[in-house]
Structure 1
Amino acid sequence: MGYEWLALAAAFLWAISSLISVTPARHLGPFSYSRWRMGCTAVMLTIMALIVGGWGSVSTAHVMPMVLSGLIGIFIGDTALFACMNRMGPRQAGLLFSCHAVFSAILGYWLFNETWHLAEIIGATLVFSGVVTAIFFGRKGSDNNDWEALHGKLAIGVALGLLAALCQALGGIIAKPVMQTDINPIAASAIRMITAFAAHSLFWASGAKLAKSKNPINRKIFSITALNGFLAMAVGMTLILYALQDGNVGMVALLSSTTPIMVLPLLWFITKQRPNHYAWFGAILAVIGTGLIVS
């Protein structure tokens, strides 16, 4: 399977996980939810790496870059994303988070001299235009939907979404040189996740009010959180690391930013509110652009 399909598969898993994150993230709060999710995922990835023998591929030189990638991309980035989602809902948060493709493309060109062919540039333009159209204009007519309602100040929500996008881009950039070695992507993902969980645990141990749960965790919330961690992080993020082995950072980020497009039919199914014609027009643009890229 080419890196394009790996990135698209990750985007689909992130679309599913973003919707099932809404209830536990609002129940626990962004910091507490991220801590529980990362703890579950760290255990899963550690066991998976043991099973496939991935830890033997890790050298001392790999550890610090992946630790830094985990701190920036997961500890800061993921927590900021869920804080944004709690304020703006999964679709509007998705618009802001999709900007990580732009950040990644710029950083990839600047740091790694990555270049794109004409068809890829046209496809990339269509994908990003489609994402923006589907999410920004696609929210019209959905004001009565609690998942689209704004909670708190808009400026703070936008800042959190852009911070999450920037951290996601930086996390990928930092991981890219390591992923071009012979390191096992599952073990690399485990290092990132263990680091993020350790950082969350230290923050919680400090007694900070932000780190405390809004409500006590229960069996249902824990089950949803563990499932989300498996889909989005144990599988989805590992697929991204596999994709980074062969694909350039900007292209992988662009294809994985199609998550908001994939959210549309899922939101329609859950909320029973059909996305408007702007949303579907954006989706069509993104599909055509993706076709140009993967062909």
Structure 2
Amino acid sequence: MVAIPILAAVGASTGWATGIVLAQAPARRLGAFEFTRIQLVACAAIVSLLCSVLGLWPSVTWEHWPAFVASTVVGIFLGNLAMIECLRLGGPRRTELLLSFKGPLVALMAFVWLGERVSVMDMVGALVVLASVMVTIQFGGDARSESDRLRGSLWRVVLLGLVATACQGLGFLLMKPAMLAGTDPLAASSVRLLGAAFLISCVALWPARVFRSDAEMTPGLLGRVVLPGVIGYVVSSSLLLYAFAHFHAGLAAVFGSLSPVLVLPILWLKDGRPPKPAAVLGAIGAIVGAGIVVLF
């Protein structure tokens, strides 16, 4: 049933929208590398424990190990480092705008690599969703909001966002054959997280200043780092992997990129400022686009 993968992708978007707002403040305090390191190590431990309790390890198709390795290095390690640095400098609205390009990028890669094709109406619906997301983010922000303040060069933010988008999209797409072979989404997330946690822990042994943080770690700060990681790495990633396995990769990526629309009401609750009319119109357009894909 098409609706279930779409709901999974939308659920992933909801999780990322929530997580990226929660992550901004602690990421700015710790720096991109230390923030990502703590998240990966903690989330790898949590999701691995869940897989052990639920008995999901036998579902992993280890013959696809090259895809696991490439997806871990490109999708999680490089992609998330670039995304967190983009978030620190550009804020959640700009970061989500750049991440919304994941849909067309994944669709192009899926066409070239997997030969996936979509119907005309599916393409129309996806374009309506993407255009609505762009309108929402471009015209729905509030420069008065602390969350929307730009730190540093806009070009650096754009470059980091596009690198994060390409890496994350490729990381998910690389996992599709393993998912189709029967690997459970949560187990796939666990393997990727364990690999990324090991890799970033090895890199952290290098005594370079860029890998250190001057912020004092407290239990409260640790919780604020781990919570968005669980939401993003464990819940949202597993949902999107499921959507990739049971739906067209490009369309799944489009519905997994709705977080720019969903992040605005969350920022409204956080900052106390309602979204602009353009943001509301963008949200309505995204719903219409989703309806076109589901109904036609």
TM-score, reference length from structure 1: 0.96
* Aligned AA (1:76): L
CA deviation profile, 1:44-102 (whole Å, cap 9, x unmatched):
11111111211112243132311210111111111111100111110111000111111
* Aligned AA (1:240): L
Q: Secondary structure at the match of 2:175?
A: helix
Cross-structure match for 1:75 = 77
Q: CA deviation at 1:113?
A: 1.5
Cross-structure match for 2:125 = 123
CA deviation profile, 1:235-260 (whole Å, cap 9, x unmatched):
11011111222112101100010001
Cross-structure match for 1:175 = 175
Contact 1:29 1:214 in 2 (8 A): no
Task: Spell out structure 1 runs of 4+ moving beyond 3 A.
Answer: none
Contact 1:39 1:197 in 2 (8 A): yes
**Given the alignment of the two structures, is residue 185 of structure 1 paired with residue 185 of structure 2, yes or no?**
yes
Q: Which range moved further: 177-186 or 209-218?
A: 209-218
**Given the alignment of the two structures, is residue 9 of structure 1 paired with residue 7 of structure 2, yes or no?**
no
Q: Secondary structure at the match of 1:207?
A: coil
Cross-structure match for 1:60 = 62
**Structure 1: gaps (5+ residues):** none
**Structure 2: gaps (5+ residues):** none
Equivalent position to 1:27, from 29, 32, 35: 29
Distance 1:203 1:123 in 2: 42
Contact 2:61 2:181 in 1 (8 A): no
Cross-structure match for 2:233 = 233
Distance 1:294 1:195 in 2: 36
Distance 1:151 1:84 in 2: 10
Equivalent position to 1:51, from 46, 50, 53: 53
CA deviation profile, 1:170-227 (whole Å, cap 9, x unmatched):
1012111111101222111111111111121111111222221241221111112221
Q: CA deviation at 1:12?
A: 0.4
Q: Which range moved further: 47-56 or 90-99?
A: 47-56
* Aligned AA (1:209): R
Q: Secondary structure at the match of 1:215?
A: coil
Distance 1:13 1:174 in 2: 22
Contact 2:19 2:228 in 1 (8 A): yes
Alignment of 1:283-294 (within 5 A): 283-294=283-294
CA deviation profile, 1:122-178 (whole Å, cap 9, x unmatched):
110110001100101222xx2221211110011111000000000011101211111
Q: Which range moved further: 250-259 or 142-151?
A: 142-151
Distance 1:282 1:209 in 2: 42
Q: Secondary structure at the match of 2:18?
A: helix
**Given the alignment of the two structures, is residue 94 of structure 1 paired with residue 96 of structure 2, yes or no?**
yes
Cross-structure match for 1:163 = 163
Distance 1:199 1:34 in 2: 12
Cα-Cα RMSD: 1.3
Contact 1:109 1:115 in 2 (8 A): yes
Contact 2:89 2:150 in 1 (8 A): yes
Cross-structure match for 1:262 = 262
Cross-structure match for 1:272 = 272
Distance 2:279 2:183 in 1: 40
* Aligned AA (1:58): V
Contact 2:33 2:211 in 1 (8 A): yes
TM-score, reference length from structure 2: 0.96
Q: Secondary structure at the match of 2:192?
A: helix
